[in-house]
Amino acid sequence: MFEELVKRDFKKKYKRTILGMGWSLLSPLLMLLVMKVAFEQFFGRTVDHYTTYLFCGLLTFNWFAESTNGGMRSLLWNASIFTKVNVPKYMFLFSVNVQVLLNFALTLLVFFAFCAIDHVSFSWRFLCLVFPITTMLFFSLGIGMVLSAFFIFFRDIDYIWSLALQLLMYGSAIFYTVDKFPPSMQFAFSMNPVYRHIAYIREVVLAGTIPSLETHLTLIGFALAAFLAGIFMYRHYNTEFLYYV
């Protein structure tokens, strides 16, 4: 059933579109072009490989935004199934995240192509990117589970999360650097899980170094906290979902 859900979500996303999967590549590339034109004159002069720097941020943030938005609506979208058949409700959210992960993988290939065009040096350290991808997957799953549970009870979550994502985008240093900010602000950035994942990828790709042990433990902590919170929400409110869909 999980396999069929993944296939359904993947086909549904591109149903009756001319470009199909091409939209998964075209959308972030258009956003990259807009941000590059808009911000390169302000920030690009002080950042080496600014296009790749910008792409790192957009790639990671778009994955998180799409994953959590889809996860938030996953229960409501599939209410017609779990109200009739007793199935694990987390499967619907997991299937959405697998579909989003496939889109991310396609965009990641384009990202590596941009790295080559931007003359970024490839090294074995790129294998370390598996780590932030894994922690971001579990972090997104956890946030999606929490949001989907709240969304069943309060439809206002849709509007609140849309606003939160906009604020999060500007607070994740996608198109600017944080080194000029005072220490208190830099500490605030370090508490942003999305920014920490972006910073990890940039450090590996652009600096060619492996982040510190503290960074690894922090990302694991973010992922575990979000995922455990999601599991708690599903265990605690599992029987109540049926009454609110």
> What angle (nearest 5°) sits at the alpha carbon of residue 51, between those of residues 33 and 207?
160
Tens digits of residue pLDDT in 67-125: 999 989 888 877 777 777 777 778 888 888 888 898 899 889 889 988 998 899 999 99
Q: With 70 as the cut, is the pLDDT of residue 2 above it?
A: no
Higher per-residue pLDDT: 16 or 124: 124
Report the run of H or E that residue 62 belongs to, with start and end.
helix 50-77
**Where does the pLDDT of residue 245 fall: very low under 50, low under 70, confident under 90, or very high at 90 and above?**
low
Q: With 90 as the cut, is the pLDDT of residue 154 above it?
A: no
Q: With 90 as the cut, is the pLDDT of residue 236 above it?
A: no
The CA distance from 24 to 200, in Å, is 23
Tens digits of residue pLDDT in 24-72: 667 777 777 877 776 777 776 778 888 899 999 999 999 999 999 998 9
Q: Tell me what percent of the residues of the chain surpass a pLDDT of 70.
A: 88
Q: With 80 as the cut, is the pLDDT of residue 173 above it?
A: yes
Q: With 90 as the cut, is the pLDDT of residue 215 above it?
A: yes
| Torsion, Cα of 114, 120, 122, 125 (10° steps) | -100
The pLDDT of residue 39 = 77
Q: With 60 as the cut, is the pLDDT of residue 207 above it?
A: yes
Alpha helices in the chain (DSSP H): 2-13, 22-43, 50-77, 79-82, 90-117, 130-153, 157-170, 183-190, 193-202, 213-237
The pLDDT of residue 129 = 96
The CA distance from 127 to 153, in Å, is 41
Mean pLDDT of the chain: 86
